[in-house]
Every structure is written in structure tokens, then in C-alpha cells.
């Protein structure tokens, strides 16, 4: 099976991600998809443009996968983040976790998506329906 | 010694460049380079409090020492997801 790209400009295919975490010993699989909302802070959104420090994001994602595998007794984890211009409803990020029992899959998946938001070098510029453009407020990157 | 500085997102717009080479002295720290970057690009000053620096893909602290050929990232607050 070909390796899943962690950072990609192409649309995210969630069945590929589910396939990557398939495991005969798994009794449950959790899939999280982050999608582009049509409104943010009360304003109508047209599209989002994601920028990424690709090499660093790939390295940090690989480290995060290793950390999650150590912290929870899960079978497999896969995550993908997209960059470039995304329209309303498109998937910007996907996390899938398979495990023997569901509790650890939910916990590990939540930890992974929360950590992605704070520790990956990604930025998004919001293009509003009004024509205005602005970088969305973020958080200083964590170690 | 020469380091390569990469600017991202709002930092790229404010510094009006994606990257540049900068001269640093032996033993210089990230904090010293940061001062030089702000002097060269004063437009970055308003966001300097929330900017973080990376050295060779790792988040650095002010006293991280620089070496020849290092890649330094200038990262505004991140917003993935």
C-alpha cells in the first residue's frame, strides 16, 4: 500500500485514510473531518487559503503519531492536512484512529486534532463574501 | 556564517519576502538574529510579541545558538485545523 501523504494540496479522500488505519484486531475506528464553515465570527466566508511550512509540518505530524501510539493502546493512526485554496464544505484536515475498544480511539483522536491545531505550522487566510481578506487569529506555536 | 530566514503568512506579507540570507556571527543566538530581523523589517514589530522562531524545523528559544547554514523560520501564530 502506498504511503499516505500527511500534507497535501489535493482534496482529502477519507476512505483512503480509513483504509490506512484498517486493522483486523480493531473493534472500533474513529474518523474526524475538519471542514470549511460558511461563517466565522458572524461573517459570511467565501473560501480559505491555507499556507504551510511543509517540511516542518510533516516532521511534527510524524512525531505526533509516534507520541499518540505510545500514549494510548491503539492499533493505527493516520492524519492528513490540506493546504491551498479550499471552498465551503471541503475537508481541511482528517484524523483516523483504530483500536481494540472505542474509548481510547476517541481519546487519542481528540488529543491528535487538538495538538494539530496548536503545534503545526499552518496558517489560514479567510476570504469573506464581502471581498475582505484576513489571516485568522491563531495561537503562538507550541513546542 | 550565513543563515536562511523563511517568512510565513502575515510575516511574509509584512517583510515583503518569502526568504532571505542573513549574516550572523559565531555564537549568535536566535534572540540576536530576531533583533536584526526587526531592524531590517520594522513592519514586523507589531506582531513580534506573538511570533515564534524555528531553527532547522524545531521551535527555538531566544538563546538557541545559530550555526552556519541553519534554516530559521519566522512563524506568526498558527491556525491549522
Average pLDDT over residues B42-50: 97
Please tell me which residue of chain B has the smallest CA distance to A82.
B81
A28 contact B CB<8A: no
Indicate the Cα dihedral angle A100, A104, A109, A112, nearest 10°: -120
Distance of CA B5 to the CA centre of its chain: 6
Q: Catalogue all structural domains in chain B, each as residue range(s) with its CATH number.
A: 2-75 (3.10.20.30)
Of A2-6, B12-16, B38-42, B46-50, which gets the smallest average pLDDT?
A2-6
Instruction: Determine contact, residues B26/B45, Cβ cutoff 8 Å.
Output: no
Helix (H, G, I), strand (E, B) or coil at A68: helix
Q: Catalogue all structural domains in chain A, each as residue range(s) with its CATH number.
A: 7-135 (3.90.1170.40)
Decide if A81 and B77 are in contact by the 8 Å CB cutoff: no
In the prediction, which pLDDT does A143 show? 86
Q: What is the mean pLDDT of chain A?
A: 96
Decide if B77 and A137 are in contact by the 8 Å CB cutoff: yes
Element (H, E) at A20: helix A14-20
> How far apart, in whole angstroms, are the C-alpha atoms of residue A15 and residue A29?
12
B10 contact A CB<8A: yes
Q: Rounded to the nearest 10 degrees, what angle do helices A102-119 and A54-71 cross at?
A: 150
Decide if B8 and A53 are in contact by the 8 Å CB cutoff: yes
Amino acid at each position: 500500500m502506498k504511503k499516505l501523504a500527511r500534507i497535501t494540496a489535493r482534496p482529502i479522500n477519507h476512505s483512503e485514510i480509513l483504509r490506512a488505519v484498517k486493522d483486523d484486531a480493531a473493534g472500533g475506528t474513529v474518523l474526524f473531518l475538519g471542514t470549511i464553515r460558511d461563517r466565522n465570527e458572524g461573517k459570511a466566508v467565501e473560501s480559505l487559503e491555507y499556507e504551510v511550512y511543509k517540511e516542518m509540518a510533516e516532521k511534527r505530524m510524524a512525531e505526533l503519531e509516534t507520541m499518540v501510539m505510545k500514549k494510548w493502546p491503539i492499533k493505527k493512526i493516520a492524519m492528513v492536512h490540506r493546504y491551498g485554496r479550499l471552498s465551503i464544505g471541503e475537508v481541511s484536515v482528517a484524523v483516523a484512529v483504530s483500536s481494540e475498544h472505542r474509548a481510547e480511539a476517541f481519546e487519542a483522536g481528540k488529543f491528535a486534532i487538538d495538538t494539530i491545531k496548536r503545534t503545526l505550522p499552518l496558517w489560514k487566510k479567510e476570504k469573506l463574501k464581502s471581498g475582505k481578506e484576513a489571516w485568522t487569529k491563531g495561537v503562538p506555536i507550541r513546542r | 556564517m550565513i543563515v536562511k530566514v523563511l517568512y510565513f503568512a502575515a510575516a511574509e506579507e509584512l517583510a515583503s519576502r518569502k526568504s532571505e540570507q542573513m549574516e550572523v556571527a559565531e555564537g549568535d543566538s536566535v534572540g540576536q538574529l530576531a533583533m536584526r530581523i526587526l531592524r531590517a523589517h520594522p513592519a514586523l514589530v507589531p506582531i513580534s510579541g506573538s511570533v515564534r522562531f524555528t531553527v532547522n524545523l524545531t521551535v527555538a528559544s531566544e538563546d538557541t545558538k545559530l550555526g552556519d547554514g541553519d534554516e530559521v523560520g519566522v512563524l506568526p501564530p498558527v491556525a491549522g485545523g
